[in-house]
Structure 1
Amino acid sequence: MTSATFPPSPPENTSWSRYFGFNTDAKVIGIQYIVTAFFFFLIGGLLAMIIRGELITPPADLVDRTVYNGIYTMHGTIMLFLFIFPVLNGLNNLLIPTMIGAPDMAFPRLNAVAFWLVPIFGALLIGSFFVPGGPAYSGWWSYPPVSTQNPLGHFINGQGLWITAVALSGVSSIMGAINFVTTILRMRSPGMGFFMMPVYCWTALAAQSLQLIGLPALTGGAVMLLMDLSFGTSFYQPEGGGDPVLYQHFFWFYSHPAVYVIILPVFGIFSELFPVYSRKPLFGYVYVCLASFIIVALGLVVWVHHMFPSGVAQWMRNFFMFSTMLIAVPTGVKVFAWLGTIWRGKLRLTTPMLFCLGGLFNFVFAGITGIMLATVPVDIHVSNTYFVVGHFHYVIYGAAVMGIFAAIYHWFPKFIGRMPYEGLGKLHFLLTFIGANLNFLPMHPLGLMGMPRRVSSYDPEFAFWNVLASLGAFLLGVSIIPFLLNMVSAWVRGPKAPHNPWNAIGLEWLLPSPPPEDNFGEHVPTVISRPYGYGTGAPLVEHQAEIEKQLTLQEASA
């Protein structure tokens, strides 16, 4: 491939029908992932409203206790397996090929199959709630022996459907991980060495490598659990020589690193957006890149800190306490790099920048409580209480989801070709930031006071903090309304977007808005510098000025 002197032409097919069929274009699949994920996000959010509606008063007076337990489990699994992972896969599909100059993913058909598994296991997962013997008692951990009880005595039961859905989710994610890793390793544009890649691609490579290492353990553990439940095996049954704690090791060997699978791409989003809206190069680029893989290495040796109350040996408690606390070091490197980027920058408080700043604030708070939970005495004291729930939601919603919103607002003009409305975006941020903190902050004193999770009634001494948390949850529910209005109205009739509305630096911004099906096609530019030259005047690719000139002429003629 050679350097380009002219940019590719805008896409010919912009019909909505392409999003409703089997399509192998990574950009179409990316939008399919994101829209599907937000459909399930609304379902999971509705379940959260029911949970907080029940907890706004001490007695259980809204739903039956068994139904409440089932709703609690379904909320967690829907948000993780049907929202957060699919929406990140959608961003990977949109950003990785365009950021590295690839025409598509390495395996386009496998990419499409991985997406179409999502609605299949989504239907199974939600259907399990309505089938007798569902996951009401076992929780989203699905620990045996509780999860291996089969009141119906045959395969078709709610717990079995739920486990099957989780296993299919693992298969889909493994397919996606193979695609993302291969694409980054083998399809970069000329001149783009590893230390000239955008940080988002580094974090995606790190996160998906972690998927390939850890996810087979959870998938295999879920299959073994399904066999114990439905076919009478004894992998986890003590009476048959099995060990129920073995399942906990399988589960947490992946499920703690899964937090890094989620947060690492969000770190990449922060690293891409802070330079754009601060007009400064990313501080400590090399160290930020390397820190991602240090997090991967340490993330594989932290899982037992979720099992401190399970009777593990003291040496394991000591080792995993140390390794869990150590992971704060590479994470801190990234935080200081972002602060160094923002420091004395020419800040533009646009909607994407506000979500990044809010996500960074929430993540620092989550990191502080994470260090507390890494210590054995504190972890045992607050285990299975709302302190852990609050910490987890600060990471997942307070940091990760806010980073995802930042990415959507930032790259929406590029891949949809329309500009979102700034006023609605800032209203969305304000409601989200206030609602998230009002919802999740009160969970920490509740946990320290001893309120356990998964209860629908509680002592009146917990009422004050629960009322605050419920009000925050309802505000968080309202916050999604301006987001949906913004996305739908902007997509239908928003102002047409230029090819680079934010004056950002990166290969994706040298494409028309929206990009053509094969991105640059045969005319991939040769990369000659890192993508963070804000204020330096250094071009990113050969013939960059000519490409941008021709893009401007295309926009003017359109």
Structure 2
Amino acid sequence: FWILPFAGALLITSFFVPGGAANSGWTSYPPLSVIATTGQTWWLLGMVALITSSLLGSVNIIVTIVQLRAKGLSFFRMPFLVWAQFVTSFLLLLAFPPLEAAGILQLMDRVAGTSFFLPSGLVVSGMPMANAGGGSPLLWQHLFWFLAHPEVYVLILPAVGIVTEIIVNNTRKPLYGYKTIVYAVLFLGFMSFIVWAHHMFITGMGVTMSNFFQVTTMIISIPSVVILTVLILTLWGASIRFTLPMHFALAFLPMFALGGLTGLPLGLAGSDIYLHDTYYVIGHFHYVVAPGTLFALFAGIYYWYPKASGRMMSRFWGKMHFWLSFLAINGVFFPMLIQGIAGLNRRLADPTFYANGAAIQNLNVLISISAWTLGAAQFIFILNFFLSLKYGKKAGDNPWQATTLEWATPTPPPHGNFLKEPIVYRGPYEYSVPGQSQDFLPQNVEAAKA
């Protein structure tokens, strides 16, 4: 944890050095990043520190899950959210070290005169670079995207875990295919390490390598489909409770599906050549990590807020926050898909300079209005969050009538969470169990004798 503020301080420092903050984009592609101003050096230092923090946090989570489970809590009795976080931690642990090494190598290129990423014959502003020679900018791309694609699942897997917990609780049914969805996530984590070069089809890679990464990209869509199918089948035929968290969880499903479907053309070299670096890529990516991750985050806050605070958040203002956010976030990202199909490139100072950009400028206006609306809607959430701490309806220990262990603690939880170590008797989703007096059976409660 304490490395995080240090990393943040390094990143903020870059704004106050000569030349300003890092100015080579979020991907930090060389050779631009190697010849950029001093702020780039501070950005790299901050990134290396941030990665170190993430690696230590991942080790902590993995060790906690492996070594500190409650008595009776076998791996296949863990909630799916814990499985999602478990796989996420392994993704961070395995994918971040190559990028950390790449960041250190880029620092060496900037300050030590090396040439890991600088090609021979590099000329900048009419002057040959003295330390350029023998390096490869594509090496950075390989190291960067080896992390950056698993990073997508680092964001989305915990979100899927949160949504799963909420959907199961509000359908009052066991999760359809618990082991199936666990195996799907494990396979997804493995496959995420062998798809990175689909971001690099236009770099001139050979047909053999291109075909390999096209195939792996199509394969990695299968576990995502399995996850969505499991959640939809859990909803099928259920007596759904439309609680506030459930609104956000249900909205997550179609937006995540749209994000996944729009990614398929980008995984095929033929269509990617046209769509690469257009607004279509922005729309696709953010339909996965913005509506998906943000809506899952809000769902989780509304769901676990009563446990953390002892109060319920306002349902009226929560629904207002939901509908404004849902409409606005789709107004931001769906038009980008249309713009990308129309051939509008990203990173243009003035899209109207080009005929295709001028023809769809009205969509940029819609995106801007939607973005401002989306930002304004979050003030409703912020006010609801803080006012509910004092004025919210008091919540009991288990206001959602859930089954997992966190609801077995007092509200708010004491230091160490549990007054005594719980014993787990069953899986995490025992809802509507025949012969029981209520429609849920917590993991830590022995079943009533028939």
The alignment status of 1:491 with 2:372, answered yes or no, reads no
Give 1:479 deviation, angstroms: 1.2
Alignment partners' CA distance in 2, 1:542 and 1:507: 7
The answer to whether the Cα contact below 8 Å between 1:279 and 1:534 also exists between their aligned partners in 2 is yes
Alignment partners' CA distance in 2, 1:358 and 1:118: 32
Distance 1:149 1:514, change over 3 A: same
In the TM superposition, what are the counterparts of 1:194-273 in structure 2 within 5 Å? 194-239=75-120, 240-273=133-166
Of 35, 60, 65, the match for 1:184: 65
The answer to whether the Cα contact below 8 Å between 2:22 and 2:39 also exists between their aligned partners in 1 is no
Of 532, 535, 539, the match for 2:429: 532
Distance 1:179 1:229, change over 3 A: same
Alignment partners' CA distance in 1, 2:177 and 2:94: 28
Task: Report what 1:554 is aligned to.
Answer: none
Task: Report what 1:468 is aligned to.
Answer: 366
Alignment partners' CA distance in 1, 2:175 and 2:218: 26
Equivalent position amino acid for 1:127 in 2: T
Task: Report what 1:416 is aligned to.
Answer: 309
Alignment partners' CA distance in 1, 2:98 and 2:67: 27
Give 1:390 deviation, angstroms: 0.7
TM-score in terms of structure 2 length: 0.91
Give 1:417 deviation, angstroms: 1.8
The alignment status of 1:174 with 2:67, answered yes or no, reads no
The answer to whether the Cα contact below 8 Å between 1:133 and 1:159 also exists between their aligned partners in 2 is no
Alignment partners' CA distance in 2, 1:133 and 1:236: 22
Alignment partners' CA distance in 2, 1:292 and 1:133: 44
Unmatched runs of 5 consecutive residues or more in structure 1: 1-113, 152-156, 547-558
Unmatched runs of 5 consecutive residues or more in structure 2: 121-132, 353-357
Q: Deviation digits for residues 382-434 of structure 1, max 9, x if unmatched?
A: 11111101111111111111001100110011112221111111111101110
In the TM superposition, what are the counterparts of 1:85-104 in structure 2 within 5 Å? none
Give 1:525 deviation, angstroms: 2.2
Give 1:129 deviation, angstroms: 3.5
Of 410, 418, 435, the match for 1:520: 418
Of 293, 314, 335, the match for 1:400: 293
Equivalent position amino acid for 1:428 in 2: H
The answer to whether the Cα contact below 8 Å between 1:525 and 1:541 also exists between their aligned partners in 2 is no
Equivalent position amino acid for 1:418 in 2: R
The alignment status of 1:313 with 2:206, answered yes or no, reads yes
Distance 1:375 1:134, change over 3 A: farther
Give 1:456 deviation, angstroms: 2.5
The answer to whether the Cα contact below 8 Å between 2:48 and 2:100 also exists between their aligned partners in 1 is yes
Alignment partners' CA distance in 2, 1:452 and 1:172: 35
Task: Report what 1:36 is aligned to.
Answer: none
The alignment status of 1:123 with 2:9, answered yes or no, reads yes
Equivalent position amino acid for 2:431 in 1: Y
More RCO (CA 8 Å, sep 6+): 1
Give 1:289 deviation, angstroms: 0.8
Of 426, 429, 433, the match for 2:322: 429
In structure 2, the residue corresponding to 1:238 is in which secondary structure? coil
Task: Report what 2:123 is aligned to.
Answer: none
In structure 2, the residue corresponding to 1:190 is in which secondary structure? coil
Q: How large is the RMSD of aligned CA atoms in angstroms?
A: 1.6
Task: Report what 1:510 is aligned to.
Answer: 408
Alignment partners' CA distance in 2, 1:159 and 1:328: 35
Q: Deviation digits for residues 40-91 of structure 1, max 9, x if unmatched?
A: xxxxxxxxxxxxxxxxxxxxxxxxxxxxxxxxxxxxxxxxxxxxxxxxxxxx
In structure 2, the residue corresponding to 1:327 is in which secondary structure? helix
Equivalent position amino acid for 2:411 in 1: S
- Equivalent pairs: percent with the same residue? 41
Distance 1:129 1:312, change over 3 A: farther
Alignment partners' CA distance in 2, 1:488 and 1:506: 26
Alignment partners' CA distance in 1, 2:15 and 2:367: 26
Equivalent position amino acid for 2:172 in 1: R
Q: Deviation digits for residues 310-354 of structure 1, max 9, x if unmatched?
A: 112221111111101111111111101100111111111111101
The answer to whether the Cα contact below 8 Å between 1:134 and 1:162 also exists between their aligned partners in 2 is no
Alignment partners' CA distance in 2, 1:518 and 1:260: 30
Task: Report what 2:399 is aligned to.
Answer: 501
The answer to whether the Cα contact below 8 Å between 1:309 and 1:380 also exists between their aligned partners in 2 is yes
Give 1:165 deviation, angstroms: 1.4
Runs ≥4 in structure 1, deviation > 6 angstroms? none
Distance 1:542 1:204, change over 3 A: closer
The answer to whether the Cα contact below 8 Å between 1:135 and 1:142 also exists between their aligned partners in 2 is no
Alignment partners' CA distance in 1, 2:374 and 2:36: 37
